[in-house]
Amino acid sequence: MPRSTLLICRHWAASVILGAALMALASAPVNADMSGHGGIVRAVAVSPDGKRILTASFDYTARLWDFVDQVAIAELDEHAGPVNAVAFAPDGKMALTAGDDRVILVWDLDTGKPVRRLEGHGHKIVALAVSPDGRRAASAGWDRTVRIWDTENGAETLVIRHTTPVNAVAFTSGGTRVLSGGQDGAIRLWDAADGTAKGEFGRHDMGITRLAVSLDGRMALTASIDETLRLWDVRTGKERLELVGHLGPVLAAAIAPDGGTAVSAGADGFIIHWDLISGLPIHAFRAHEGRVRSLAFSPDGRFVVSAGADAVARVWHLATGDRIGISAPTASEPKPWLTSAHPGARLYRKCAGCHTLVADGPKRSGPHFEGLFGRRAGAVRGFRYSDALVDAEFAWNRETLAELFRKGPDVFLPGTKMPLQRISDPERLTELLDYMEEITGPNGANGGNDAGSKGQ
């Protein structure tokens, strides 16, 4: 098929999916956001264990969030300018942030305090990457350099000079090489030890905005102001695919952990999920009002976190495009868990953010819990389940719920929209199940304020 015809087909497919996404948006439930930043959220990262999210903002701060509860854990406030980039260390205990103040800070996430300050850039820093072993970091800046740092002592070990500002950087080949993307649209490969140029890939028509590398290091995905993404073979530098579908500059991109798909987003506010074999969009959904600046996958590939110009970050279930938000109970909704003395009531509060107790309650990202015990999985009429639950052939009871929490939703029901939650303590799990059985029964929602005395 001629290239021009292929591009027309891709534009058509993308426009159909974008149109369907707009129609679906009108009926989508409204959920809470990870809000609190006082400006554009420019970058987002998910910790290696999938439990925490890190965001960077124009408001001079980075924030650490709990993935499941979507509440702020810590505010990292030591920069003297907007924060543009964040990255977790492989062990998840440390993180790096960088911004307009030309400084990289290395944070101890247990204390929320910076332990090292890396300085050397002569202009704003816009991208960060950490090597797979965590011993080196790479930064890209508008001073036309990529710089390599020793994360253990903060020493600058290498400066790689470019002819234009550099917008994107990533490690590849096990951390031995570095890819960079600049405002000239070029993608270049470098030796991470001595800075030797190892080749230049083809170019975008306009500047690179984002660069992502697959976990196996074989593929790189670049996003550009020219409204396209391109997939590259890292070993040969050859272009494998051109992805066309966004209506405006593409500002964010990430490759799924399994390497089979990718996501992108940009000025049009949409996230597009791509098949990296065919180069065609799988589906698309509106993510933010205004520009989407950054995307990150959860480690299991089930969720994508987005951040945008509307100053919030959001979690999405990729298979359905549903937003996974934590909603506050409405004023008229029963909230017996808030006053109950039952030891399982405090644990239940996490459930309450995504599930209402009554069938006619407000829509949430999870189905209602009325009559939960004995109900067939995937049986609430009108709720849009993931395929994992649509095809389920079991009922919810103490045994199945215990297995869900012991194994984790990702193992018990691969593909489910339920975020990662595990309860390994048998006593705490029993307390939660006792309370859930009591509160979801016929008298639970309205008569559960005292439900709680048992077990005390």
Residue boundaries of the structural domains of the chain: 3-323, 336-447
Give the mean model confidence (pLDDT) for residues 18-38: 56
pLDDT band at 56 (very low <50, low <70, confident <90, very high): very high
Contact 247, 268 (CB under 8 A): yes
Least-confidence region, from 78-82, 91-95, 387-391: 387-391
Task: Specify the 3-state DSSP secondary structure of 146.
Answer: strand
Domain 336-447's class?
A: mainly alpha
Residue 420: which pLDDT band, with cuts at 50, 70 and 90?
low
Whether the pTM exceeds 0.75: the reply is yes
pLDDT digits (tens, 9 = 90+) for 322-360: 888 766 556 667 778 888 889 888 888 778 777 888 888
Interval 237-259 mean pLDDT: 96
In order, the DSSP letters of 300-335 are TSSEEEEEETTSEEEEEETTTTEE---PPPPTTS--
Average confidence (pLDDT) over 192-215 = 94
Residue 119 DSSP class: E
pLDDT surpassing 60 at residue 397: yes
Q: How far apart are CA 193 and CA 136, in angstroms?
A: 10
Q: What percent of the chain has pLDDT over 70?
A: 88
DSSP β-bridge partners for residue 229: 223, 243
pLDDT band at 443 (very low <50, low <70, confident <90, very high): low
In three-state secondary structure terms, 12 is helix
Q: Which amino acid is at 333?
A: E
CATH superfamily, domain 3-323, is YVTN repeat-like/Quinoprotein amine dehydrogenase (2.130.10.10)
Query: Mind giving me the DSSP string for 23-59?
Result: HHHTTPPP---EE--SS-EEEEEE-TTSSEEEEEETT
| Intrachain domains 3-323 and 336-447 with the same fold | no
Instruction: Please give the angle made by the CA atoms of 24, 53 and 227, to the nearest 5 degrees.
Output: 50
